[in-house]
Chains A and B, each alone.
Chain A
Amino acid sequence: MSQIDTQRDAATYAAAGAPPRVVKSSGAWWNDQHVRSLLYQALVLLGVIGVAAWFIGNAIDNLARAKIASGFGFLDREAGFGISESLIEYSPASTYGRALVVGLLNTIKVAVIGCILTTILGTFLGILRLTTNPLLAKVMSAYIEIIRNIPLLLQLFFWYAVLLQLPVPRQAIIPIEGIVLSNRGIMVPGLVLHDVHWFVAAAFLAGIVATVIYARHVRRRQEATGERTSIVLPALGFLFGLPLVVGFLVGAPFEPTVPELKGFNFSGGIVMSPEFAALLIGLTVYTAAFVAEIVRAGIQAVGKGQWEASSALGLRRGQMLRLVVLPQALRIIIPPMTSTYLSYTKNSSLAIAIGYPDLVSVSNTTMNQTGQAVEAIAIFMSIYLGLSLLISAFMNWYNNQIALKER
């Protein structure tokens, strides 16, 4: 092995993160590290390809024998089964493809609402965990220990059983006027939505973009001139004023709807089915216990000196938290939060156990009816992979934005 080769190898190894292993060749070719490494890799690759080929060959034979047509043609056929809740129009006459989209949207619905609720609840619990009050600290740690040490599936079954044991609508529990708890689900007041409300939603999204742009502008001005301008009022204007104005201009109706008892059931309001509510509550309570620990660890990781230094600069307590401590704590909190959001999304697949029609549940019905197990599983596996990669890509981007900029 020549000197140059060795050097290049050392560089390659260093780049790969492993230490260089420079082995003196003793002459025979089978003792040369390069040859060996190539040989090993070829063997492993051949082995993997061989096993895969064997599996696929068997699968093709088996499918042919069972007379199962492969391919994704079944997506265009009529599904013929109902789905209890859907964000888009769906009937048994719709196609399997549409049914899967309904399932995917249901998964996304529970994941998005759940991740937001989990973050709020978890942060709140995490801050409570920071208390010096021994009583509260004990209560909190008991809560977190209990939640973390019981299987999620068991908790989902428990919440589902609790929700189904609620009284019938006629004797429904109404903790606050407008919120109705019964064995038909949880009903809360809401707005009647029409197509025209898409404009309002678009305006809200535009408001978010405008806020981000404005915040960047303010920051740049602060870096250039040292002047600090509050962004709270403009941000509120963008986020809520803009949708209101747009809603008024396009004439979006403002129709509140509240649940009312009619006959044997309630009508009106936003209805969360017992399945959806059990999944949402179970997942959120479970995941919030993990989030609480992440938040607590993140805030505790910011050294005491940071508080003292910011106090020496004359900042008020709120400013200390907002300008000094939180930005540093977030840097520690973001990476584990990413994996928490990911596992929330993946754990939502347990919905199948309590009958919420999520992606896995709908796919399961589909493959039971069509026998297209390979295709159905391939579809939902790649969707989960895609969702995972999407969330982690976004979080990595965000993480880079707030990471320590070392000069």
Chain B
Amino acid sequence: MTQLAATAKDFVEPPPSQKDTPLLRLWRTLFGSTLNSAITVMVILALVWLVPKIVNWAILDATWTGVAADCRKASGACWAFIAEKARVMVFGVYPGEELWRPTLMMLLFIGMVGVSMFKRLWRRELIWAWIALVPVLLLLMDGRILFLIPVLPVVPTNRWSGLPVTLLLSLFGLVLAFPLAILVALGRRSTMPVIRVLSVCYIELIRGVPLITVLFMASLIFPLFLPAGMTVDKLLRAQIAIILFAAAYLAEVVRAGLQGIPRGQYEAADSLGLTYWQSMRLIILPQALKMVIPPLVNTFIGFFKDTTLIIIVGLFDFLFSVRAPLADPNWLGFPTEAYVFAAAVYFCFCFIMSKYSQYLERELSPERRR
């Protein structure tokens, strides 16, 4: 072949010179221009000022064991406080002799979530496993099978507290809000005016008010709506509020996915003679939900954090049980340590979720992988 046209070779840049080592490149990105050098120097100065302070406080000058008096002598953090109060901070007021139950519950829960994260294991059996696991989790917490047949000593929900409550509220909140969200999202795109208007009202009403007002509704007004003598457990009411609230936000995410499906897909489903529900279940939703997994996970993270709000209506989640020991007269004055501990726990859960959503985004869109 003669060299009439330019070949790809002509457009390829020459290889970098031998001197362009990674170290040199790093040097250039850090000190390439005056502005960059200034930024680098300032960031380094700030880090040199800040990092030793944090390291000293958190590690070098910290007190790891002992009593409050030892902590007050030292200038650093008082991790002895956390160690001393760890049981209360994690499990709250759950009866002390039954602690193996919430512990096992959390291990099962986290283990199952961990298993579910592997895309290879996404099979029908996984759904059945979850359905089987949920009564076990509740049995461990409550002591009765489906709140009816006592097997273990019964622990009423007003003794449920701490991290187990946070995990359960988030799990049920999202698992139950999700189908509701799909229904409402489909309703919002429905051709039937009554259903569309109801869905829009529901979504806009819920999204227009803060979660805390919905929680107030659930804890103060909902009991009024029930006939005399009929009561619904307080924790369950908060759970319902979280489900209703999350569903409105998730519905908007799902709707975005539905809007992203080309019209041809709907028409193709129709031409196959599928009914509305068949075409949604088999054609539309699988594609729509796949598209919105990253924003869905972001919404999940948001609601995991928002479960903390239940302490305002007098329920005991993880944040509550972390704060409870702050009132201990022997250990006054270490709120920072407690909050750092709680923040670290919340951060771990949320960070793993957000990294996982990035992984899923890559995994589910091979066409966009680079």
> A-side interface residues toward B, CB under 8 Å?
12-13, 16-19, 21, 37, 40-42, 44-45, 48, 55-56, 58-59, 61-63, 65, 131-136, 139, 145-146, 148-155, 157-158, 161-162, 165, 346-347, 349-350, 352-353, 360, 364, 367, 373-374, 377, 380-381, 384-385, 388-389
Q: In the assembled complex, which residues on chain B have CB atoms less than 8 Å from the CB atom of A152?
A: 305, 308
Q: Known contacts A135-B44, A389-B208; is A149 also within 8 Å of B194 by CB? A: no
Top 4 closest pairs, chain A to chain B, by CB: A149-B350, A41-B194, A161-B335, A346-B210
How far apart are the CA atoms of A58 and B308 in the complex, in Å? Answer: 31
Contact assessment for B29 and A133 in the assembled complex, using a CB-CB cutoff below 8 Å? yes
Q: Does B235 contact A (CB under 8 A)?
A: no
Which of under 10, 10 to 19, 20 to 34, or 35 or more describes the interface residues of B? 35 or more
Contact assessment for A149 and B354 in the assembled complex, using a CB-CB cutoff below 8 Å? yes
Within 8 Å by CB of A377, from B217, B226, B319, lies B217
How far does the Cβ of A374 sit from chain B's closest Cβ, in whole Å?
A: 6
How far apart are the CA atoms of A288 and B107 in the complex, in Å? Answer: 36
Q: Known contacts A45-B194, A161-B335; is A149 also within 8 Å of B351 by CB? A: yes
Scan B251-285; emit 1 where CB is below 8 A from any A CB, else 0: 00000000100010011001000001000000000
> B-side interface residues toward A, CB under 8 Å?
26, 29-30, 36, 39-40, 43-44, 47, 189-196, 198, 205, 207-213, 216-217, 220-221, 223-228, 259, 263, 266-267, 270, 276, 301, 305-306, 308-309, 311-312, 319, 323, 333, 335-336, 339, 342-343, 346-347, 350-351, 354
Q: Known contacts A135-B44, A385-B205; is A151 also within 8 Å of B210 by CB? A: no
Within 8 Å by CB of A352, from B217, B276, B312, B323, lies B312
Contact assessment for B228 and A154 in the assembled complex, using a CB-CB cutoff below 8 Å? no
Q: Number of A-B pairs whose CB atoms are under 8 Å?
A: 169
Query: What are 6 A-to-B residue pairs whose CB atoms are below 8 Å?
Result: A44-B194, A58-B226, A134-B26, A135-B30, A153-B308, A158-B343
How far does the Cβ of A387 sit from chain B's closest Cβ, in whole Å?
A: 8
> What residue of chain B has the Cβ atom nearest to residue A43's Cβ?
B194
Q: Known contacts A37-B192, A134-B26, A385-B209; is A149 also within 8 Å of B339 by CB? A: no
Q: In the assembled complex, which residues on chain A have CB atoms less than 8 Å from the CB atom of B211?
A: 346
> What residue of chain B has the Cβ atom nearest to residue A51's Cβ?
B225
Q: In the assembled complex, which residues on chain B have CB atoms less than 8 Å from the CB atom of A380?
A: 213
Q: Known contacts A19-B266, A21-B276, A62-B228; is A154 also within 8 Å of B343 by CB? A: yes
Q: In the assembled complex, which residues on chain B have CB atoms less than 8 Å from the CB atom of A21?
A: 191, 266, 270, 276
Q: In the assembled complex, which residues on chain A have CB atoms less than 8 Å from the CB atom of B223?
A: 62
Extra A-B contacts (11), CB below 8 Å, given A61-B228, A360-B213, A384-B208? A19-B263, A37-B192, A44-B195, A134-B26, A149-B305, A149-B350, A151-B308, A157-B339, A346-B209, A373-B221, A388-B208
How far apart are the CA atoms of A360 and B217 in the complex, in Å? Answer: 12
How far does the Cβ of B294 sit from chain A's closest Cβ, in whole Å?
A: 13
Contact assessment for B198 and A19 in the assembled complex, using a CB-CB cutoff below 8 Å? no
How far apart are the CA atoms of A335 and B308 in the complex, in Å? Answer: 28
Q: Known contacts A59-B225, A134-B26, A380-B213; is A145 also within 8 Å of B220 by CB? A: no
Contact assessment for A18 and B336 in the assembled complex, using a CB-CB cutoff below 8 Å? no
How far apart are the CA atoms of A148 and B266 in the complex, in Å? Answer: 38
Within 8 Å by CB of A133, from B30, B276, B305, B312, lies B30
Within 8 Å by CB of A58, from B43, B191, B227, lies B227
How far does the Cβ of A391 sit from chain B's closest Cβ, in whole Å?
A: 10
Contact assessment for A150 and B350 in the assembled complex, using a CB-CB cutoff below 8 Å? yes
Q: In the assembled complex, which residues on chain B have CB atoms less than 8 Å from the CB atom of A149?
A: 301, 305, 346-347, 350-351, 354
